[in-house]
A and B are shown apart, each in its own frame.
Chain A
């Protein structure tokens, strides 16, 4: 079974600074998808960024980028120029390509605080 581990329960960053959230996963599959989702307080979960395992190039979405290390099974999220609106719970998630439908396996989350 696939597992996703987020070892940082909480992180803090100063506004305008850069922060990196860590995620490791375990799978025997060679192809899969990885995601970072953001869940603001009392608001719904939204997709931040996704990465296809067969793509070597790291995904980037504006101020958000990932460092995908397939051999190490590591998938970290870098947030540049942090803003107050980035404060949220961030979840790393895994989705198999075959057999699991759209099922997402989530990590336990990292609570990100953004300070002035």
Chain B
């Protein structure tokens, strides 16, 4: 079974631009979560989607948004990019929404650099 895939793997943008990152979960998984990883702040939860609905949201400004499609694929969008948005963005998928045996499987991440 294929793992979690994220595209693109690397991205370079300039301040003020917007960016869209994509995540395809493991087949059959319906929950997708997004995390931002930076050297200074570590791993921080952005949001989680399940059945095309945002179920949980972290403490990030409204410039960060996401959505999930009927096939469970998810995208996250960052508008008006700032230098501080440079990070590794990780996507994780799991079978359901916090089921007892659920485990999150992570993708390889998208490395975003904002110049």
Q: Mark each residue of chain B from 88 to 101: 1 if its CB lies under 8 Å from any CB of chain A, else 0.
A: 00101010011000
Residue B42 CB within 8 A of the other chain:
yes
Chain A interfacial positions (CB closer than 8 Å to B): 37, 43-47, 50, 91, 95, 97, 100-109
Chain B interfacial positions (CB closer than 8 Å to A): 3-4, 31, 33, 35, 42-45, 48, 50, 55-56, 58, 90, 92, 94, 97-98, 102-109
**Majority SS at the chain B contact face:** strand
B residues near A44, Cβ cutoff 8 Å: 3-4, 106-109
Query: Per a CB cutoff under 8 Å, which of A47, A101, A108, A109 touches B48?
Result: A101
Once the chains are docked, how many angstroms separate the CA of A45 from the CA of B88?
A: 12
Once the chains are docked, how many angstroms separate the CA of A68 from the CA of B72?
A: 35
A46 and B56 form a contact (CB under 8 A): no
